[in-house]
Amino acid sequence: MLTAKEIKALFEKLDARLAKRGVMGEIGIVGGAVMCLVYDARGSTRDVDGIFEPPGIIRECAKEIAEEEGINEDWLNDGAKGYISGKFEIETVLELPNLKVWAPEPRYLFAMKCISARFDTNDADDLKFLIRRLGIKSAAEAFDIVGDYYPRKQIPTKTQYFIEEVIESLD
């Protein structure tokens, strides 16, 4: 598990490797990394999900760092890229000389977490945090936010049940 402090340190190591190569990098983080690093909503995350440029060089540097640090080589991965949809605002999380790290706006992160939600993870707790932060009062309001970023026909049925269950658990 990676804490916010450890994630920042890994990004600093990544920045140093990019600098040695004369490369500027950019990472958009999503999921648990945002919950740790941006919102301090949980103590740690299993990995850092995101999208990054340039992908090949960043992947190579991340793998080198993993070997050096003795951590999972997938500590930085783009497994969530299939859930990224539409336009959204971003917030810069960390700006280093050769690496910019950003996170999506909270409404988008909420919608994305709803679409990708799994019952066997921290997703329910993450969604509860975001529901409170965004002031969402009903499942209908939550669905409207998801619909702002994802076409209705792309929203899995499980998302509806998951949202309803999470909202009911807040009452």
Q: What is the pLDDT of residues 41-58, one digit of tens each?
A: 999 999 999 999 999 999
| Residue 20 per-residue DSSP state | H
- The verdict on 12 and 93 lying in the same domain is yes
pLDDT greater than 80 at residue 133: yes
pLDDT greater than 90 at residue 17: yes
- The verdict on 97 and 160 lying in the same domain is no
Tell me, what's the pLDDT at 4? 98
How many separate domains does the chain show? 2
- The verdict on 89 and 112 lying in the same domain is no
Tokens of 51: 């999208």
- The verdict on 69 and 98 lying in the same domain is yes
Residues 90, 92, 93, 97, Cα dihedral to 10°: 140
pLDDT greater than 80 at residue 160: yes
Report percent pLDDT > 90 for the chain: 86
- The verdict on 94 and 65 lying in the same domain is yes
Residue 85 pLDDT class (50, 70, 90 cuts): confident
- The verdict on 92 and 38 lying in the same domain is yes
- The verdict on 34 and 115 lying in the same domain is no
Residue 83 pLDDT class (50, 70, 90 cuts): confident
Task: For the chain, report the end-to-end CA distance as a whole number of angstroms.
Answer: 31
- The verdict on 131 and 164 lying in the same domain is yes
Task: Give the residue ranges of DSSP H helices in the chain.
Answer: 4-21, 32-37, 55-69, 106-116, 123-134, 139-149, 157-170
Given 104, 136, 158, the domain boundary residue is 104
Residue with tokens 């209908």: 140
Tell me, what's the pLDDT at 86? 76
For 39, the domain range is 2-104
Query: Are residues 83 and 110 in contact, defined by beta-carbon separation less than 8 angstroms?
Result: no
Distance from the Cα of residue 142 to its chain's centroid: 19
- The verdict on 83 and 120 lying in the same domain is no
β-sheet bridge partners, residue 94 = 101
- Identify the weakest region by mean pLDDT among 7-16, 85-94, 102-111: 85-94
